[in-house]
Structure formats: structure tokens, C-alpha cells
A and B are shown apart, each in its own frame.
Chain A
Amino acid sequence: MNDRTTTAESPRAAAIGAFGGQSSRMPLTIVAVAIVFVVGAVAPTRFAGDFVLRLANEGLLLGMLALSVAFLMSQAGLVALGAASVYGGAGLLFAIAMSQWDLTPMSAVCASFLIIVVYATVLGALIVRTNPLAFMMLTLAAGEMISHGVMLEGLRDYTGGADGLVVNFKGSILGMEAADFANPARFWLVAWVAAWLAGLALWTVGRSRLGAILRAVRENEERMRFSGFDTYLPRLIAYVLVNVVAAVSGLLHVLNAGFVSPESLGLSVSTNALVAALMGGIAGSVGPILGGLIFSFAQDEFGARGLTQLLTGIAIVLFIVVFPRGVVGGLWSVVQLQARALSGRRETS
């Protein structure tokens, strides 16, 4: 890419560059990203109404879930169809910890988080050694197992069965009380920061040695094993890592909603996350989160007519077959094309 063109790009394109592609001017990019971060944190709370903010909050949380799906897809070539069981499971565990175990909110968060991480580690240890196709089937099966398990009659007192659980939230988490989490404008800040942290964390991991090993294993596992690399542990670490992100998203969701329903563990939430990831583009961190936002607003538009599921199916097919790079990937290649055309014109003139 030509140096002159980077200065001409919009901050947003620079931000995309920082996440999705390579950038040649680091300081400028960092400034641009910081501007996007600050503007994004403040502007919506000033200009958007409560309803729009609620949708945006939902979108950011779904975006984080999509990010976890996308990271595993793009780095390890593994598709997880059970993301919702961790997302909803973390929320449900928090609700149980609050209502049944009488924990303080902070220790309830920690307890549910720990349980989910242990679950993800055990499950991951079992399933990451299979091939990608079997992995996809197994995550689907594990997700269904959890969502059926929650509905068991014997656990009804615990999980609330089909009714779900209301969170009895007294006290505070990191200085925020129940009312603060329920306030859309305040929660936007929390969700925005969390989404950025998750995005930056996974982006960093993707560019680290672990990311390189994951991609190499994705391309040819046998070759990596033959070259003396452990191919099991990196994939297990990646699996646990994305589940940590999914669990954080699920915990934030239950804190925001004050309620957890068994539907949040269901297959449709997992496919929603998959669609959000595909829509935004799975490479990089911006795509999935943007995809989550798009999905949230689209669902509001079409969900009332009962079309969400149908459109989810159509979106999966459409984005894989026609736009495999998603919205962000597509925009990025348009920007690159424009930049190349621009620099070409300047050089000839």
C-alpha cells in the first residue's frame, strides 16, 4: 500500500486497517483508533434515544459472541455451533448464584465465570482433537445438551425451567448497581469498553505466536505435528479463550436484562452469533462486532413479522456463497481498490 494514501483515508478505514489488515503508519492509526473509541463511547449516549441504545447494547453483546465464533473460525478453522450454551449458561449460573447460593454480586460473577471456564476446558479437551467437521457437530451436540439439561424437571427449582430466572441483584459490581446496569446509556459505556477489550485481546492473540501456530494447524495439522509442534494445546487454549469472551458477553447480558431465559441458551442464539460473524466478516475484530450491531437492528426491523429465523438462514447461505468476506472485508477491499486507483492516477499525472 502506498504511504501517501493512508493519510487520505478516513479514521474509520484506518481503524479497520488496524484490526483487519496491515497499516504502515502506526502512530497515526493509534490516534485515529483512539478518536473512534472516544467518539463511540460518548456520542451514542448523547444523541441516541433509549430504545436505539438498548438495541445497540444488544448488538454489542451479540457482537462479542460473534467475535468469539469468528476468532475460532478465522484462526483455527473451527466452527462452534454451541456458543449460546456458554453465553446463556454464564448468565444462568450468575442468576443461580445470586438467588440460590446467596453470594455477593462480585463473587457470583467470579463463581459463574469460573464454572464456565472449567466447563469449556473439559469440553474443549474432549473435542478439539477431532477434525473440524466433527468439531462442528460436537459443539452443536454439546450446546443442545446444555439447553436440554437446563429444562430438566429435576433441576426446575434451580434453573427455573422454561420460565427462566429473575436476577435478585443487591449490592454492586465494580461500583455499579443494578439500576446502573439497567440504564441503557450507562450500560452502553460498559458494553462498549468490554467489546473493545475483547476485540483488542483477540486481535493481539491473533497476531501473536499462538495465532500463527493456530493458522498453521488450520492449514495442515499433520505437517505441524510432523514439524514438532504441539497441535492440541494451542487449539485448546484458543477454545477456552473464545469461551471466556462468550461468558463475559453472557454475564453482561444478564446484568443488563436482569433476567435470563432458557432461550438464551438455545441453538437460535448460536446461529444468530454465527450470522453476525459472517455478516461483518470473520477476519479481524471489527467485523463481528459490527455484524452484531447490524444484526440487532435488522432483527428489530424484521423480527416483529416472525422472519428472523428465515432471514438468519438466508443470511448464512448468502454471506458464505456470495460475500464470504462480510461487510467489513468487502468495504476494506473497496477502500484498497480506491486507494490503488488514486495512487495510480497521482503517479501518472
Chain B
Amino acid sequence: MIALLIANSLALASLLIMLASGLALIYGLRDVINFGHGAIYMLGAYLGYTVALVGGFWLALVVVPILLAFLGIAFEYLALRPLQSRSHIEVALVTLGLGIILGQIIIFFYGGVARSVDAPEVLSGSVTVMNLSYPVYRIFLIVMGLGSCALLALWLRFTSSGLYVRAVSQDPSVARMMGINADRLSLLVTSLSAAFAGIAGVLAGPYLSIDPGMDVTMIVNCLIIVVIGGTGSIGGAIVAALLFGLVQVAGSVFLPNIAALVPYILLMAVLLIAPRGIGRGRVLN
């Protein structure tokens, strides 16, 4: 029972980590929360659905992130760079507007009905570990989530571009003075974050349903995670995503009546205790 609970919450957290760390990365470089991230994730899910129909799930898992990385590049060049001089709130509102536009375009092409993607043959059964039977796909999800999380951590810690990203996140002006090109890094980070959203979208297909409301649900969850984790802290976001997954899954088991409200209760509780979140995010004004 407890093992199942933890496994389920890890599966949910895996998706959330991919999205929330993408948000935190962009925030670190640009001081902007991308309110359109949910729509990018939704685009990933729908594109994944289409590509999976044509060429199968594995192809979708490769193609969609690449496509979305280009979307990220476009987002960087067409929105973030021209608006660099504007206030962060205004840019955040622009991303909100762009997210609404993208969401509506997707609904226009795919209609308002929910879709589902079948997991590939290899991942469709379930395995029995210690007398507990568990769906293989969720294990795959956990591996992907934790794997990408580990890759991200390795990149940030052991490569020079990762070092630069950390430097800009910590103090943008000093980092620029030391000769770090924040624009080029931002291009990398934005495309990376969109690609991650694409992976999350494709992975969500067989796990959750693909429906027109998924962008708002996901962005609200991610924002809760980012706030709990301490805005801009990637480590905090990862911990918060795990906590969020656990609370969400436990809520649906133990408090089915108010399960939908449990994440918000968690958010309010964290805000009461630690208004700046649990991580060591950059304190900003």
C-alpha cells in the first residue's frame, strides 16, 4: 500500500519535475515566469498523439521534443528578446497571452474532445515486484523523470555552460560583467525547457488523458510547485514536485472528497510557514 502510494506519487512527480524545472531555468536566466508553459506541454501532448498515430510512440518521444525546441527558440527570439527592456510582470502577462493563443490554436485543430495514446507494446503490461503488481509504463515514467532530473543536475554541476547558467541565475549583472553571454545561454535554456515540456507532454499521453483543459491544470500545478520550491530554485522545485506528487496521490486515496483542493492546502500551509518557499531561491524584488 505505502509502496504503491510512493510509486504513484513518483510517477506524477516525474512529469511535474520536467515542467517545473524548465520554468525555474527560464526564470533563473530571464526573471520571467513563463505562463505559457502549460500550453507548450499541451502542444507536446497533441503533437505526440499525432506522431504516435503515424510512426509510433518512440518516434514521438524523439521528434516532438526536437520540434518544441525550435518553438522555444522562436519564443526566445520573438518574445523574450524584444521585450527584454520591459518589466518582468509585463513579459509574464505576454507569455500568458501567448499561452492562451497557442491553446486555442491547438483546440481549433484538434477539437474539444479528449484523446488517448496507447503505451507501446513493451511498456503496456505490468510487473510484479514483491507481490505487488505495478504498471510498467509508470516505472518507465519514473525512470524518465528521475533520469532527466539527474542529467539536468549533472549538466548544471559539471559543464561550463551549466556553471554559466548557475552564475547568471545567482547574479545576472556580475555574471555579465565576467563576460558570460546571457542571451546565448537563454537561447539554450529556453529551447531546453520547451523540449522538456515536449517530453512531458508525450509521456503524459498514455498516463493522463489529453484534453483541452490540460494546459491550465498543469500550469497551475507547476506554479504551485515553483512557489513552494522557492522561485528560481531548481533543487527546491524538484523537492516541491516530489512533495506535491505525494500530497496529490495521498489526497486522492485518503481524502477523495476534497482531493482536488489538497495541493492548494499544501500551498497555503507552505506560505504560512515559509513565505519564500522551501528552497534557496534568489531573493528578488
- Report yes or no: B33 in contact with A133, Cβ–Cβ below 8 A: yes
Whole-angstrom distance from the CB of B176 to the nearest CB of chain A?
A: 21
Q: Which residues from B are CB-within-8-Å of A321?
A: 83, 94
Contacts of B88 on A, CB cut-off 8 Å? 132-133
B268 cross-chain contacts in A, Cβ below 8 A: 126
Give the residues from 234 to 276 in chain B that come closer than 8 angstroms, CB to CB, to chain A: 257-258, 260-261, 264, 267-268, 271-272, 275-276
Q: Quote the shortest CB–CB distance from A188 to chain B (angstroms).
A: 31
A127, A137, A149, A317: the one contacting B94 at CB < 8 Å is A317
Is A141 close to B, CB under 8 A? yes
Q: Does A142 contact B (CB under 8 A)?
A: yes
* Residue A230 interfacial (CB < 8 Å): no
- Chain A residues in 8 Å Cβ range of B223: 137, 140-141
User: In the complex, are the beta carbons of A320 and B90 less than 8 A apart?
Assistant: yes
**B residues 206-227 touching A (CB-CB < 8 Å):** 216, 220, 223-224, 226-227
A267 to B89, CA, bound (A): 18
Are A134 and B93 closer than 8 Å at their CB atoms?
A: no
Q: Bound state CA distance, A130 and B277, in angstroms?
A: 10
B54 at the interface (CB under 8 A from A): no
Give Cα distance in the complex from A305 to B78, angstroms.
28
Report whether A77 and B89 are in contact in the complex, using a CB–CB cutoff of 8 Å. yes
A141 touches B220 (CB 8 A): yes
Report the nearest B residue to A222, measured CB to CB: B285
Q: Which residues from A are CB-within-8-Å of B89?
A: 77, 79, 132-133, 136
Which residues on A sit within 8 Å (CB–CB) of B226? 137
Contact status B261-A134, CB under 8 Å: no
Docked pose: A206 CA to B32 CA in angstroms? 28
- Are B231 and A131 in contact (CB-based, < 8 A)? yes
Complex partner residue of B100 from A77, A145, A152, A309, CB under 8 angstroms: A309
A313 in contact with B258 (CB, 8 Å): no
The answer to whether the Cβ of A221 comes within 8 Å of any Cβ in the partner chain is: yes
0/1 string, A149-163, CB within 8 A of B gives 1: 101111000000000
Report the Cα distance A274→B35, complex, angstroms: 15
Out of B33, B97, B105, which one reaches A320, CB within 8 Å?
B97
Q: Tell whether, in the assembled complex, residue A317 and residue B92 are in contact, meaning their CB atoms are under 8 Å apart.
A: no
List of B residues within 8 angstroms of A310 by Cβ: 100-101, 104-105, 108
- Please tell me the number of chain B residues within 8 Å of chain A, measured between CB atoms: 40
Within 8 A of A (CB), among B78-119: 83, 86, 88-90, 92-94, 96-101, 103-105, 108
Residues of B within 8 A of A132 (CB): 88-89
Whether A315 and B97, one on each chain, are in contact in the complex, defined by CB atoms closer than 8 angstroms, is: yes
Residue numbers in A under 8 Å from B261 (CB-CB): 145, 148-149, 152
**Closest A-chain residue to B220, C-beta based?**
A144
A274 to chain B minimum Cβ distance, whole angstroms, is 8
Residue of A nearest to B268 (CB): A126
**Chain A neighbourhood of B1, CB < 8 A:** none
Shortest A345–chain B CB gap in Å is 35
Partner of B271, one of A126, A131, A145: A126
CA distance A126 to B18 in the complex (A): 28
A324 near B: Cβ within 8 Å? yes
Asked if B2 lies at the interface with its beta carbon under 8 angstroms from chain A, I say no
Given contacts A133-B31, A133-B89, A140-B223, list 5 more A-B pairs with CB under 8 A: A138-B227, A312-B100, A313-B100, A313-B101, A317-B98
Q: Give me 10 A-to-B residue pairs in the complex whose CB atoms sit less than 8 angstroms apart, sorted by A's number.
A: A133-B89, A133-B92, A136-B89, A137-B33, A220-B285, A267-B216, A310-B104, A310-B108, A320-B86, A320-B90
